[in-house]
Structure 1
């Protein structure tokens, strides 16, 4: 098993790292990890949505240089990137909710697609070397809802605006890789870009609406039944630490070999480690110690995929990445954070990262 702590420390200590979307759930976890590794972090994102958001809980402003701005503001984005001269960019800024994308489709496309275009285009004016990891989603695939797990070379698509916008972002990555940052001309531009696809992450500190764990925790705290919209839906559940370790390892590999790893990569659970939504909720309730679920007869709901699996063999065999926490432990660590980590969230987050790295 790879010693992540040594590799990540050697790669990121004293390096300039830009995170777009640093105030979001995954962004706050990544910010905390990079801070622990000794990186100099600059964040670019919208203000956190509410006081409970993880970024506020961990006092994220103390961990980085925080720029509150919109990814769609291309002039501001360009200014901040060129002034910072990052060694690494992790692009997480996104409208990340499927159901919200039905309510705000054009905003979703603007943020996820044009925002990515503005970031990639800025790289043409950045004179220093830079590694870029563009974070998309497992939902970029043209999902046929079959049991075959999707590989990185499978067809892209998107039923809903969110999925389609992320597939478009992947096409942008491919276009800029070929047109401006071609692998065969690396010596002329020194830019290495990869796409990282991960699925349904869970973990402490998530308070977004229309996500299963935050909805579950709110219900349990208020002694209400947990409403389960799609109980038999199967998702590649994993703790947020898992894909973040993949992103960080991918960044390290891109430094080692900037052209070999400048591709798309899947990060998900092992094939036999999947849960339905109902199973996840029942296990979470058991760990919490009380509660019950309710399966209402909902009609006229927006389409959401019922089955989605990722093939992670490429990441295992070529990057050397492999999940350390199974779905059961991911649920346990997540619920424990809400039960025991709310008083000192940053310290509890550090503990979980260190436990993971040292496993």
Structure 2
């Protein structure tokens, strides 16, 4: 989802830039169908180092935005090894392919605010030097991705810039994320497709929400203006609980909405 918005932003704001993307044979193209004639897609696999070496030698990118990941926190509890393999080994392969090919791009590494885990009141607002307390396999994988990217900068001079993005949302956001799941269920209740209550998980988690279209502008500016080796938090300027977000969305509905907690949506640990 984020990659499609980034591609749209670059095409609209920087028409002289060629946009290349990595796909797998089973990758859905729905989010980018409207821009397919304007972009270049290449088959490669993050977990296959050789495929990345071939691709980088062919394209020789000047900027790399590494957004690919197993990005579902809940899924990471069911598939921890796969999450670690995709996010940590996949990132390592990308960085090693850059090292092996000898190209010299600026590289955005998309870590996550999940690396911070539970923070105390005296640590707010969260700063980039806050301790890591990852509370899920996903958060552990993003911690590893973050640190291996720093290591490649320190050891090999690979020009990585890391971001720890807080929650962002917007068009095309999948219903595996709370606010999108709420919106989908509310729409289904409004038109009569769904007749039972709206299902929710933990409503007490605190989030800051940013528009994904603002996030991708920040990502572009990152590689234009910022310093390799650094890390930056990116987030909205207002916090709310997931419950607050739900009530705001229920207030926009055209009918009365009731919700109930679905135990299947609760995580073993949460932030």
Short-chain TM bin: 0.7 to 0.9
**Paired position in structure 2 for 1:250:** 222
Deviation digits for residues 227-272 of structure 1 (CA, Å, limit 9, x no counterpart): 2211121112111122212211111114xxxxx45301000122xx
* Cα distance, 1:219–1:88 mapped onto 2, change above 3 Å: same
**Paired position in structure 2 for 1:40:** 18
Aligned to 2:19, the other structure's residue is in SS state strand
Task: List gaps (5 residues or longer) in structure 2.
Answer: none
**Paired position in structure 1 for 2:210:** 238
**Paired position in structure 2 for 1:118:** 93
Q: How does 1:112-261 map to 2 (within 5 A)?
A: 112-141=87-116, 143-147=117-121, 148-181=124-157, 191-209=158-176, 211-223=177-189, 224=194, 225-254=197-226, 260-261=227-228
* Cα distance, 1:300–1:98 mapped onto 2, change above 3 Å: closer
User: Matches of 2:31 and 2:264 in 1, distance apart?
Assistant: 33
User: Matches of 2:41 and 2:175 in 1, distance apart?
Assistant: 21
Alignment partner of 2:42 out of 67, 85, 108 = 67
Aligned to 1:289, the other structure's residue is in SS state coil
User: Matches of 2:269 and 2:38 in 1, distance apart?
Assistant: 36
Task: List gaps (5 residues or longer) in structure 1.
Answer: 1-24, 182-190, 255-259, 307-359
User: Matches of 2:78 and 2:104 in 1, distance apart?
Assistant: 39
Q: How far is the alpha carbon of 1:73 from its aligned partner?
A: 1.5
CA contact (8 A) 1:228 1:278 kept: no
* Cα distance, 1:298–1:42 mapped onto 2, change above 3 Å: same
- Normalised to the residue count of structure 1, the TM-score between the two structures is 0.67
* Cα distance, 1:119–1:297 mapped onto 2, change above 3 Å: closer
User: Matches of 2:34 and 2:99 in 1, distance apart?
Assistant: 34
User: Matches of 2:73 and 2:82 in 1, distance apart?
Assistant: 13
**Paired position in structure 2 for 1:54:** 31
* Cα distance, 1:28–1:47 mapped onto 2, change above 3 Å: farther
* Cα distance, 1:81–1:283 mapped onto 2, change above 3 Å: same
Q: How far is the alpha carbon of 1:78 from its aligned partner?
A: 1.6
User: Matches of 1:78 and 1:300 in 2, distance apart?
Assistant: 39
* Cα distance, 1:214–1:68 mapped onto 2, change above 3 Å: farther
User: Matches of 1:100 and 1:146 in 2, distance apart?
Assistant: 26
Q: How far is the alpha carbon of 1:205 from its aligned partner?
A: 1.3
**Paired position in structure 1 for 2:254:** 289
* Cα distance, 1:208–1:228 mapped onto 2, change above 3 Å: closer
